[in-house]
Amino acid sequence: MRFELTLLGTNSALPAYGRFPTAQVLNIQEKLYLIDCGEGAQIRMGQFGLRQAKISQAFISHLHGDHIYGLIGWLTSLALINRQEPLDIFAPEGLEEIIRVQLKYTGGLPYSLSFYTIDPSRHSLIFEDKRVAIFSLPLAHRIPASGFLFREKEKARNIRPDCIEAYQIPFQAIPGIKAGNDYQLEDGRLIPNADLTLDPPKPRTYAFCSDTAYHEPLIPLIQGVDLLYHESTFCDDLVDIAAETGHSTARQAATIALKAGVARLVLGHYSSRYPSLEPFLLEARSVFPNTELGVDGASFEVPLQGRG
C-alpha cells in the first residue's frame, strides 16, 4: 500500500549541477502519477527504475519550459516501446496545441492521448479514480499555474478476524460489513458494525506547490497534509528577485509549511545561482524543522497510519 514521491528533477529553469528541471512521480498503491515533465524526465525515470507503463495520467502545473519540455520526448518514447494504453494529460490551456503541432510534423502515436484543460484560478477536483482524488491549487506565478493536491481515497473498514470466527460470518457477508453494514445473526440478534470492524488507516495526502510567489491563500487548501513539496527557487538573500519573478524563498516555503501545519516539507526548484543546497536547508529548518532537501532521485514515503 505504497504512497511514495520520487523526484526526477529539482532545478529551476535550466539543468545545472546534476539537477534536472522539475518532474516527479507519485506512486499510490503501485499506480504512478506523473507531475510536471521537465527536460530529461524520461532519462530520470529509467535511471531511477520507474515503470513508465504504470503511468496513465500526467499533471502539468504550467507552461514554462522547465515543466513541459520533457513531454514530447517522453510521449514519443512511449510510442517506440509500443504503448497501447491511453494516456491522459491535465494541464492549463495551451499545452494540447503545443504537443499536437509537434506530433503533426514528427509523427503520430499508437496510443490514444487525451488532454483535459484545468483552470489554474480555481481550487477544484480535476481527477479521481479508486485510489485517489486530485485537486487543483491556484498559485501566484507569472503565468497561470496550478499546484496539485493528492488525497488518497478512504479505505474499507478492517473486519476483525476474531469476529468472523466467533459469529461464523459467511464469506459473502464480508464486503458489506467492510462497507459499514451491521450483521444479523440467525437468531435475529443484530451485531453493530462498530463491534465487528476497526477503523481503516488514515487517507494520505501530498501537496505539490510548483512555481509560486509566497501565497497565503494556499494555507487552508493544504492544511495538515502529510507531505508538502513547495518550491524554493531562492534563499532570503534574493527575496526581492523571488517576488519579481513569482517565486519563493526557502524561508517563505517553510513559513507556508508552518502555517499550514503540514507533517513534512520537501524543497525544490532551486535556482542555478546556487551550486550548494545547504543554505536552503538551514534557512527553511530555522522556521520549519521537519524540512528535507529535494534532490534528483530522492524518494519520500508516507507510511500508513492509524487514526489514533
Q: Where does this chain touch Zn ion (CB under 5 A) — which range of 11-19, 148-156, 201-209, 276-284?
A: 11-19
Q: From residue 90, how far is each of 73, 134, 139, 162 by CA, in Å?
A: 18, 11, 16, 46
C-alpha cell at 76: 514519443
In whole angstroms, give the CA distance from residue 182 to residue 9: 49
Minimum CB separation of residue 228 from Zn ion in Å reads 17
Q: From residue 142, how far is each of 155, 208, 291 by CA, in Å?
A: 39, 18, 26
- Which residues in the 211-230 window bind Zn ion by CB under 5 A? 211
Residue nearer to Zn ion on the CB measure, 66 or 226: 66
Residues touching Zn ion, count (CB under 5 A):
4
- Which residues in the 144-203 window bind Zn ion by CB under 5 A? none
End-to-end CA distance of the chain: 19
Q: Where does this chain touch Zn ion (CB under 5 A) — which range of 25-33, 65-73, 86-94, 177-185?
A: 65-73
Residue nearer to Zn ion on the CB measure, 12 or 42: 12
Minimum CB separation of residue 194 from Zn ion in Å reads 49
In whole angstroms, give the CA distance from residue 27 to residue 55: 9
Residue type, 72: I
Binding mask 66-95 for Zn ion (x = CB under 5 A): x-----------------------------
In whole angstroms, give the CA distance from residue 3 to residue 210: 20
Residue nearer to Zn ion on the CB measure, 147 or 227: 147
Among 19, 64, 83, 215, binds Zn ion (CB under 5 A): 64
Minimum CB separation of residue 250 from Zn ion in Å reads 16
Q: Is 296 a catalytic residue?
A: no
Residue 39 interacts with Zn ion (CB under 5 A)?
Answer: no
Minimum CB separation of residue 274 from Zn ion in Å reads 15
Q: What is the 3-state secondary structure (H, E, C) of 215-231?
A: CCCHHHHCCCCCEEEEE
Residue 60 near residue 37 (C-beta atoms within 8 A):
yes
Minimum CB separation of residue 94 from Zn ion in Å reads 13
Residue nearer to Zn ion on the CB measure, 12 or 291: 12
Residue 67: is it exposed, middle or buried by C-beta count within 10 angstroms (0-12/13-18/19+)?
Answer: buried
Catalytic residue, chosen from 36, 66, 226, 296, is 66
Residue nearer to Zn ion on the CB measure, 3 or 214: 214
User: What residues have CB less than 8 Å from 30, skipping those under 6 apart?
Assistant: 2, 54
Q: Residues interacting with Zn ion, by CB under 5 A? A: 12, 64, 66, 211
Known catalytic residues are: 66
